[in-house]
Structure 1
Amino acid sequence: MIAQPTHPRPVIGVFSGPIGASRTARLLELAARDRRIGGVVSPQEGATRWFRDLRDLAAVPMDASAEAPEEAVQIVGRFRFRASAFRWAAVRMENALGDERLGTIVLDEIGPLELRGLGFAPWLPGWIDGYAPRLLLVVRDSVVQDVADRFGFVPDYRQG
């Protein structure tokens, strides 16, 4: 007999699409029109990818240079990310999640890094357990089910 989970898997909003589908740009536009949307997006500006807070537009670069110490870098494929940028973004997410004026909290994006236990993986279980109705995760369409299985939620697909 297969054991049933002790509690149902939470339903999480998922904003999905292929690479280059302008998900981040659409979320920036939506947040500019609706002050009840907060969280963190990851736009690419020129050659640099950033974490940007949707409310005050503060930002930090995600990309790590080749000279960065290895303990400060998270690597997936050819990409090198600054661990400190994820910590910065996590603090911004915690602030947004604690702001009752915000109805939707965006996290852009969850993908291969988190599937390896890196990036936002340390924070995601707590955010999913505590704030599922308000979360909107940006997930590349090719890994939505893998991310949902890894972090124990049911995806609720949303359109921009």
Structure 2
Amino acid sequence: MAKIFLITGPTQSRKTTRLTHWCSGRTDVGGLLSPIVFNKRCFQNIRTQEWLAMEAELDEAEVQQVGRYTFSERTFAWANHVLLQTSRLPGIKWLVVDEIGPLELQGKGLNPALEIIFSNLPPHLNLILVIREKICESVLEIYDLKRYGVELFHYPEN
């Protein structure tokens, strides 16, 4: 049966860095990491290492706004596609979503892919979700994740 593992903690507490090291060299892991590249938060496809900046360029028309941040619709469409495609690949035992934040609680961001994945979670697929500490309970409630086995992720050995 599928399980959901949570990584939560304060901003800048090395969640993505530790997760990146855990994913390195593994062939059974896919999904998205959110590293900072050239001082910009990005999505990085774990399997291909391809990355795109989350923040919109100044001339982008299709954007998502949350607080003082303006995010690229194009990047989020790509990220949603990566999650959905990866969740269906044979051999993937771990799907990483780094991270679920305020956009998703508003039904934006990665929400389209998350709703599909959470409603049809294959029994062989374990999810690793990075969730902001302040909204963790809200995410668990809104997506009804407690119906799965939810526990903290402890970076098991490869």
CA positional deviation for 1:142: 1.4
Cα distance in 2, alignment partners of residues 27 and 34 from structure 1: 12
Q: TM-score, normalised by structure 2?
A: 0.86
CA positional deviation for 1:128: 0.9
1:107 is matched with which residue? 97
SS of equivalent to 2:111: coil
Q: Is the 8 A contact 2:28 2:93 kept in 1?
A: yes
Cα distance in 2, alignment partners of residues 60 and 45 from structure 1: 9
Q: TM-score, normalised by structure 1?
A: 0.85
2:24 is matched with which residue? 32
SS of equivalent to 2:120: helix
1:97 is matched with which residue? 87
2:120 is matched with which residue? 130
Selected match of 2:63 from 73, 77, 81: 73
1:117 is matched with which residue? 107
AA at the equivalent of 1:79: Y
Structure 2 alignment gaps of length 5 or more = none
Q: Is the 8 A contact 1:42 1:109 kept in 2?
A: yes
SS of equivalent to 1:118: coil
Cα distance in 2, alignment partners of residues 26 and 100 from structure 1: 25
Which deviates more, 72-81 or 59-68? 59-68
Cα distance in 2, alignment partners of residues 130 and 140 from structure 1: 24
Q: Is the 8 A contact 1:12 1:128 kept in 2?
A: no
* Identity level (%): 28
AA at the equivalent of 1:94: L
1:13 is matched with which residue? 5
1:88 is matched with which residue? 78
AA at the equivalent of 1:12: I
AA at the equivalent of 1:157: L
AA at the equivalent of 1:64: A
1:144 is matched with which residue? 136
CA positional deviation for 1:67: 3.0
CA positional deviation for 1:11: 5.3
AA at the equivalent of 1:87: A
In angstroms, what is the RMSD of aligned CA positions?
1.7
Q: Is the 8 A contact 1:48 1:63 kept in 2?
A: yes
Q: Is the 8 A contact 2:43 2:52 kept in 1?
A: yes
CA positional deviation for 1:18: 1.0
Q: Is the 8 A contact 1:11 1:153 kept in 2?
A: no
1:7 is matched with which residue? none
Q: Show CA shifts across 1:56-111 (max 9, x none).
A: 10111111133321xx1111111111011111011111221111211100011101
